[in-house]
Amino acid sequence: MENQKKIAALVEKRETARLGGGEKAIEKHHAKGSYTARERITKLLDPGSFEEIDMFVTHRCTDFGMEKKVFLGDGVAVGSGTIDGRLVFVFAQDATVIGGSLSETMAQKICHVMDLGMKLGAPIIGLNDSGGARIQEGACALAGYAEIFERNILASGVVPQISVIFGPCAGGAVYSPALTDFIMMTETNSYMFITGPKVVKSVTNEDVTVEDLGGARVHATKSGVTHFTAANEDEAIEQVRRLISFIPQNNMEEVPAIEPTDAIDRVDDALNDLVPADPNKPYNMKDIIYTIIDNADFMEVQPEFAKNIICGFARFNGKSTGIIANQPNWLAGVLDCNASRKAARFIRFCDAFNIPILTLVDVPGFLCGTGQEYAGIIDHGAKLMFAYGEATVPKVTITIRKSYGGAHIVMSCKQLRGDFNYAWPNAEIAVMGASGAIGVLEAKNIKAIEDPEERKKYIAEKEAEYKEKFASPYQAANRGYIDDVIEPRNTRFRIIRAFEVLKTKRLTNPGKKHSNIPL
């Protein structure tokens, strides 16, 4: 009988803990169109797989009447579960408990699952919905944040870390997501900023709304802080599950592979005519990507930020691959500060987690002007070069059309240890385009020709000569800088064959404490 009472008390305590801040607080939370912490976990993980730990932890603060505000679990649900059968660790901040504010014990719970994730080699997913540090705890709450940040740093490159922003994320709270590999924000209710609108108004006299200061749209298009956005919480959760399907559990695993259902030797004749003969005419690089990958299944990263470069995950013959591609449809595919750092960070993630990299090149150069120079285009361009040169995973590069100057170098050229570098027949690899080159090399001769028609004819002849002599892919192939010139329709097959050859690649960088990437 006594045992039954104890068991009944345990069941009751569990039910109380699962209610977080209580039924009224949950109703209020639902009224905002938001799920509770445990509802989010249930939707994220495979049915019945969640194993919650530290359910009975409570805070220890007795100041400011906090001894009367004690909740089991103390504002965060933590534990493990599976996504498509693969182990993950998760924490979900509970906004129904004191606004989800972070206490010392709440931080300890989060650190506990992060330590387990590191120890067991499984991804760590954080579902953020918090009012920030718990003011009543002062320095203890700040120390809790610092403990979390340190673990984010140590876990970086060891296990994948994903942050989902479902509500407020302000002040010091923003730094944990910023230290993780990917951030997902919902277009409703979520926002991130260092200081809120009221502080901004008092310091800078700017009038700005929460949404305009740190909403999902701002961080997706202007700052690049968030990697994905979703219309609602259900969509965000589905995107996280999809993202997990492309990435390995940890830095010691190979990439996930699924049973391929798309023929390896599938060809598409449309590719032979997809790129305009005129090098100044745009086209959509995504048309090529969707054609050559498995089942047109492409998960783009930061699709609304720095659109002149495309980054994302796809599969070739069932195996995950990272893709970086210039986008001629946006700013002619030129490299600028934002595009360089966007691609560099994506490359470093792929390299950290053994994900092969495919690079599709059509780049006229770096964006010029005082705006870019003052913004540090030199350093940002160097980031991209550094990332490619440091990467030891299999790297296949295909020059689709243009590859000029310094931009040619930073886009995974042979000298940055590109393993297989191919080019389409119409590719141009040179210091600069024919028009610009002839304008410099033949300036005196052109100026000496008085007749406009004769001048035009002379320029056309010299440009054609330059293309043939300096910009042709066969010239690069002649020097061994291009391994082969391939027929566009066979691109998919050549990529798969190259990665298959490279699957046993082993390359180690010189021993060092760590590199010093130009930040």
Residue 171 is among the residues annotated as catalytic for this protein: yes
Q: Indicate if 140 and 172 belong to the same structural domain.
A: yes
- Around 154, how many Cα atoms within 13 Å sit in the side-chain half-sphere? 14
Q: Indicate if 232 and 302 belong to the same structural domain.
A: no
Considering only CA atoms, which of 362, 337, 398, 368 is closest in space to residue 281? 362
357 part of a folded domain: yes
Q: What residues are paired with 300 via a beta bridge?
A: 312
Residue type, 245: S
Cβ neighbour number for residue 244 with a 10 Å cutoff: 20
The H or E element spanning position 422 is strand 420-423
* Residue 361 to residue 423: CA distance in whole angstroms: 9
List of residues 6+ apart from 280 with CB closer than 8 A: none
State which of 179, 212, 246 marks the end of a domain: 246
Q: Indicate if 47 and 144 belong to the same structural domain.
A: yes
CA distances from 289 to 393, 485, 493 (A): 20, 19, 13
Residue 371 is among the residues annotated as catalytic for this protein: no
Q: Indicate if 226 and 350 belong to the same structural domain.
A: no
452 part of a folded domain: no
Burial label for 224, CB within 10 Å (0-12, 13-18, 19+), is middle
Which CATH number goes with the domain that contains 353?
Answer: 3.90.226.10
Q: Indicate if 92 and 167 belong to the same structural domain.
A: yes
Q: Indicate if 72 and 137 belong to the same structural domain.
A: yes
Of 121, 157, 172, 224, the active-site residue reads 172
Residue 31 is among the residues annotated as catalytic for this protein: no
Q: Indicate if 70 and 219 belong to the same structural domain.
A: yes
Asked whether the beta carbons of 62 and 70 are under 8 A apart, the reply is no
Strand 161-165 to 124-128 pairing: parallel
103 part of a folded domain: yes
163 part of a folded domain: yes
The number of helix segments (H) and strand segments (E) in the chain equals: 20, 17
Residue 172 is among the residues annotated as catalytic for this protein: yes
Of 25, 92, 391, 407, the active-site residue reads 407
Asked whether the beta carbons of 326 and 366 are under 8 A apart, the reply is no
* Residue 36 to residue 220: CA distance in whole angstroms: 25
413 part of a folded domain: yes
Strand 86-93 to 124-128 pairing: parallel
Of 318, 406, 436, 439, the active-site residue reads 406
* Backbone φ, ψ for residue 368 (5° rounding): -100, 170
Q: Indicate if 209 and 285 belong to the same structural domain.
A: no
Asked whether the beta carbons of 491 and 274 are under 8 A apart, the reply is no
What pLDDT, on the 0 to 100 scale, is given for residue 12? Answer: 82
Domain membership of residue 331 as a residue range:
269-424+486-504
Cβ neighbour number for residue 11 with a 10 Å cutoff: 10
The count of structural domains within the chain is 2
Cβ neighbour number for residue 140 with a 10 Å cutoff: 18
476 part of a folded domain: no
- Report DSSP state, residue 317: T
* Residue 26 to residue 250: CA distance in whole angstroms: 36
* Residue 397 to residue 171: CA distance in whole angstroms: 41
Q: Indicate if 395 and 278 belong to the same structural domain.
A: yes
Per-residue pLDDT of the chain (519 residues; tens, 9 = 90+): 778 888 888 888 888 778 777 788 788 888 888 999 999 999 999 999 999 998 888 777 667 767 677 778 788 999 999 999 999 999 999 888 878 788 889 999 999 999 999 999 999 999 999 877 776 777 888 888 999 999 999 999 999 999 999 998 888 889 999 999 999 999 988 999 988 898 898 999 999 999 999 999 999 999 999 999 999 999 999 999 999 999 999 999 999 999 999 999 999 999 999 999 888 899 999 999 999 999 999 999 999 999 999 999 999 999 999 999 999 999 999 999 999 999 999 999 999 999 999 999 999 999 999 999 999 999 999 999 999 999 999 999 999 999 998 999 999 999 999 999 999 999 988 877 777 777 777 777 787 787 788 778 888 777 777 777 767 888 888 888 999 999 999 999 999 999 999 999 999 999 999 999 998
Considering only CA atoms, which of 414, 422, 418 is closest in space to residue 485? 422
432 part of a folded domain: no
Q: Indicate if 274 and 234 belong to the same structural domain.
A: no
* Backbone φ, ψ for residue 313 (5° rounding): -110, 140
* Residue 392 to residue 171: CA distance in whole angstroms: 37
Of 121, 143, 157, 171, the active-site residue reads 171
What pLDDT, on the 0 to 100 scale, is given for residue 73? Answer: 73
What pLDDT, on the 0 to 100 scale, is given for residue 62? Answer: 65
What pLDDT, on the 0 to 100 scale, is given for residue 174? Answer: 92
Q: Indicate if 227 and 329 belong to the same structural domain.
A: no
Asked whether the beta carbons of 198 and 222 are under 8 A apart, the reply is no
Q: Indicate if 173 and 276 belong to the same structural domain.
A: no
446 part of a folded domain: no
